[in-house]
Amino acid sequence: MNGVRTRDLTLTRRSLYQAELPRHVWINSSELIKSLSGFRLLKKTISGIRGIFGEDLLLRDIIEYTNNFSALIKSKKCVIGKDTRPSGTMIKDTVIATLMKNGIDVFDLETVPTPVVFREARKYGAGIVISSSHNPIQWNGMKFIIEGRGINEQELPTIVKHQEIPYSRIGTEEKILSSYIEDAKKIIGDIQNQPEVVVDIGGGAAKGFATDLLRNVGCKVNVLNEELSGATRGPDPTYDELSDLSAESIKKDIGFAFDLDGDRLVVVRKGKKQTPDVTLGLGVAKSLELGYKKFVLSIDSSVSIEKYIKEKGGSVQRSKVGEANVIDLMLKTSAQAGGEGSSGGFILPEFNYCREGILTSGLIASMLGTSEFEEILNYMESFSQVRDKIQVDSNFHDKVIENVSSEFSKEYSEVNTMDGIKGTIDENSWVLIRKSNTEDIIRVSAESNNEDKCKKIVKETIELVKQSYDKVK
């Protein structure tokens, strides 16, 4: 049957929902008590579900949310891929069994970056990525894809509420390969000057994709941390020092670091790690070079990028923080490019409805040695960003923010409450506070064309949040 087979599993409707699973994955009484008491830390958002596997995220959760997602799959076809986390294979097998039980044909990409799953999901109608992105290695989760994009706020209730799926047939399973590299090369083109690039895989799923793409477009590539075991850094390059990559980049034209699922990209140049906003800025500069004019940026992305776009004749709209929110506004406004600076995430909708670490590395490499590359870097280096956080019990988040909001209104001429509270200080300076949806923290971000001023803004805002918290708790 051309490689298609029916999976020989005994996971029936009854066994799936009565947890007839291998003994080593049974939940014990303490886990059950923790769950019933509401102390589990499983996160459920439009970005997917995630938690510490075996503690907050159990196989029964995987079964339940996969089952519920099945109700949204109109095509009855679903692409699936995973990153390199040790728990990935066990979760993938459980996801496949659940989908097939619901009559959905599964197309298994095995270990691939998140952008590859999103790209292939355009062809099949739906997709699931098994990953918790940049979270620590003991975490895992699932990202849900419909028609090439992540689920939206309207679709989330379907996934978190139990769905009864009428039995029809057992779906099939097929191993597939992706045309991602060939597709990405068509956009990037051939790079004639053969730049020397060093790539820090971080033991993640970018292995074999980022390197192959960069070599295919004409780069000379050196690779670090190709395997998860023995990797010298953590899963999130936006917070890691990237000391090995920094040292190697001195001898090369540029360095790239990826997170475990390959959607976040951090740039290192001449031994200096760049801010995540620089990744977005370079992607934007390439988009402008390609003739794109309509952009969407998250509310916490660098003002330097917005100013650069407008100087080049483009337009900018701002969205709430979060990949899904950026893409939702892109679709509504027919925007051509954009992203969110805080996560090093550039998005090119014509290619993919997700952060695109792999493609973006190729686009940036194609700019090396050009005046546009130097121009955007110099432009952005004249601005400073500081991102910090303060511990605040989530039960008090709303009261604290309400309190701070009234203070912002007194102090700043322009206050934006689209997502948290953003105060505009002047045309080059702003501050934003947002509550975390997953942690007992409030985030404080600020930017200015004066580094000392930026640090002062953050320090004063954190003190204001602290005072408000002391007042309301």
Given a contact cutoff of 8 angstroms between Cβ atoms, the answer to whether 184 and 164 are in contact is: no
Task: Mark whether 100 and 230 lie in a shared domain.
Answer: no
Task: Mark whether 230 and 352 lie in a shared domain.
Answer: yes
pLDDT of residue 203: 97
Name residue 244's amino acid: D
Structure-model confidence comparison of residues 42 and 237, the more confident one = 237
User: Is residue 185 left, alpha or beta, with left meaning phi > 0 and alpha meaning psi from -120 to 50?
Assistant: alpha
Domain that holds residue 56: 13-175
Of 358, 381, 404, the domain-final residue: 381
Task: Mark whether 169 and 227 lie in a shared domain.
Answer: no
Alpha helices in 250-338 (DSSP H): 276-289, 303-311, 323-333
Task: Mark whether 151 and 213 lie in a shared domain.
Answer: no
Task: Mark whether 199 and 266 lie in a shared domain.
Answer: yes
Asked if residue 31 has pLDDT above 90, the reply is: no
Instruction: Read off the pLDDT band of 47 (50, 70, 90).
Output: confident
Q: Look at residue 3 and tell me if it is in a domain.
A: no
Task: Mark whether 351 and 427 lie in a shared domain.
Answer: no
Of 381, 413, 438, the domain-final residue: 381
Q: Any bridge partners for residue 338, and if so which?
A: 296, 347
Q: Give the whole-angstrom CA distance, residue 278 versus residue 256.
A: 12
Computed from CA positions of residues 255, 345, 358, 369, in that sequence, does the dihedral angle turn out positive or negative?
A: negative
Q: Look at residue 6 and tell me if it is in a domain.
A: no
Task: Mark whether 155 and 216 lie in a shared domain.
Answer: no
Three-state SS at 472: helix
Task: Mark whether 204 and 107 lie in a shared domain.
Answer: no
Asked if residue 198 has pLDDT above 60, the reply is: yes
Three-state SS at 163: coil
Mean pLDDT of 411-425: 92
Q: Look at residue 197 and tell me if it is in a domain.
A: yes
Asked if residue 29 has pLDDT above 80, the reply is: no
Strand order in the sheet with 337-340: 315-319, 294-298, 337-340, 345-347
Given a contact cutoff of 8 angstroms between Cβ atoms, the answer to whether 144 and 151 are in contact is: yes
Given a contact cutoff of 8 angstroms between Cβ atoms, the answer to whether 266 and 344 are in contact is: yes
Q: Look at residue 4 and tell me if it is in a domain.
A: no
Task: Mark whether 116 and 74 lie in a shared domain.
Answer: yes
Mean pLDDT of 7-21: 35
Q: Look at residue 7 and tell me if it is in a domain.
A: no
Instruction: Read off the pLDDT band of 44 (50, 70, 90).
Output: confident
Q: Give the whole-angstrom CA distance, residue 98 versus residue 69.
A: 10
Task: Mark whether 307 and 392 lie in a shared domain.
Answer: no
Task: Write the CB contacts of 378 (distance below 8 Å, at least 6 apart in sequence).
Answer: none
Overall number of domains in the chain: 3
pLDDT of residue 23: 28
Mean pLDDT of 335-347: 94
Q: Check which CATH number belongs to the domain holding 406 and give it.
A: 3.30.310.50
Strands (E), 133-291: 139-146, 149-150, 173-175, 196-200, 220-224, 254-258, 265-269, 272-273
Asked if residue 131 has pLDDT above 70, the reply is: yes
Q: Look at residue 452 and tell me if it is in a domain.
A: yes
Asked if residue 152 has pLDDT above 80, the reply is: yes
Range name among 4-13, 18-27, 145-154, 392-401 with the lowest pLDDT average: 18-27
Q: Check which CATH number belongs to the domain holding 295 and give it.
A: 3.40.120.10
Computed from CA positions of residues 384, 389, 390, 395, in that sequence, does the dihedral angle turn out positive or negative?
A: positive
Asked if residue 35 has pLDDT above 60, the reply is: no
Q: Average pLDDT over the chain, rounded to whole?
A: 90
Q: Give the whole-angstrom CA distance, residue 345 versus residue 305.
A: 13
Count CB neighbours of 46 within 10 A.
Answer: 20
Q: Give the whole-angstrom CA distance, residue 19 versus residue 60.
A: 7
Q: How far from chain centre, in Å, is Cα 298?
A: 13
Asked if residue 318 has pLDDT above 80, the reply is: yes
Mean pLDDT of 346-369: 97
pLDDT 10s digits, 225-278: 999 998 999 999 998 999 999 999 999 999 999 999 999 999 999 999 999 999
Q: Look at residue 265 and tell me if it is in a domain.
A: yes
Q: Look at residue 280 and tell me if it is in a domain.
A: yes
- How is 37-77 classified by DSSP, letter by letter? TT----EEETTEEEEEBTTTB-HHHHHHHHHHHHTT-TTSE
Q: Give the whole-angstrom CA distance, residue 46 versus residue 220.
A: 38
Residues in the chain: 473
Task: Mark whether 204 and 67 lie in a shared domain.
Answer: no
Of 349, 381, 413, the domain-final residue: 381
Q: Each residue of 291-309: b (16+ CB within 10 Å) or e?
A: ebebbbbbbbbbbbbbbbb
pLDDT 10s digits, 72-126: 999 999 999 999 999 999 999 999 999 999 999 999 999 999 999 999 999 999 9
Task: Mark whether 170 and 207 lie in a shared domain.
Answer: no
pLDDT of residue 406: 87
pTM: 0.88
pLDDT of residue 40: 61
pLDDT of residue 447: 96
